[in-house]
Amino acid sequence: MNIGIFGGTQGVGLAALKQALAEHHHVTLLARTPDKVEIEDENLTIVQGDVLNVSDVEKVVAGQDAIINSLGGTKNNPDNVCTIGTRHIIGMMKNFGVKRLLTVTALGVGDSRKQVPFVFKMLMKTILRKAYADKEKQEQAIRASGLEWLIVRPGGLTDEPKSGKWAVIKSGDSAPSSRISRADVAAFLLAQLDREEYLYEAIGLVA
């Protein structure tokens, strides 16, 4: 399968990139600094650019079967980078007829707010306020996209190795855990490339 990945130079996106290549998918990755991607694979194409630039996004989306969106804010990005970048991705997917969009946000966004610990709710109101506001708008854009979308909201992310085990948390469910490895989130995403079980849902994911 041909997969475009945004936010694939670190975190869940990087884990998804590595696993996708291990499964022999053809991956196109957007990277502002390609030299930071220390992976060489004949099935990997790296496009130098920025998700805030529509023409760069176009180069990644064209010809793909699915898109994995793991955008996140950094000190070098504006506060609304996830929203703007996702809108660019959606627009290009519509232009090229790419339908499957798998996006990583965070547990605590939208109706999953009640599924995070009280202390984390306080962080969402203070230190993480702008980041969560961005993700709220990002999710709204995805829901209105008309694409085959799935939003995955992982709990606290760890660097533990892939276990292949996770719990899907839906609205109204209590979370048995508040953590999950980046590798397991990536594995879950790749498992949804051609499945319909969770389409058009925003689900929590924990260990």
- Rounded CA separation 150/103 (Å): 6
> Phi first, then psi: what are they for 97, rounded to 5°?
70, 25
- Tens digits of residue pLDDT in 131-181: 889 999 999 999 999 999 999 999 889 999 999 999 999 876 776 777 999
Question: To the nearest whole percent, how much of the chain has pLDDT over 90?
Answer: 77
The least confident of 59-68, 120-129, 184-193 is 120-129
- pLDDT value of residue 119: 59
- pLDDT value of residue 111: 81
Q: At what angle do helices 81-96 and 129-143 cross, to 10 degrees?
A: 20
**Count of C-beta atoms within a 10 Å radius of residue 60:** 25
**Which domains does the chain carry?**
2-206 (3.40.50.720)
- Tens digits of residue pLDDT in 90-134: 999 999 999 999 999 998 888 877 776 555 666 666 766 788 899
- pLDDT value of residue 125: 67
- Rounded CA separation 129/137 (Å): 13
| Closest alpha carbon to 103 in 89, 117, 113 | 89
- pLDDT value of residue 109: 84
- pLDDT value of residue 123: 64
- Tens digits of residue pLDDT in 30-44: 999 999 899 999 999
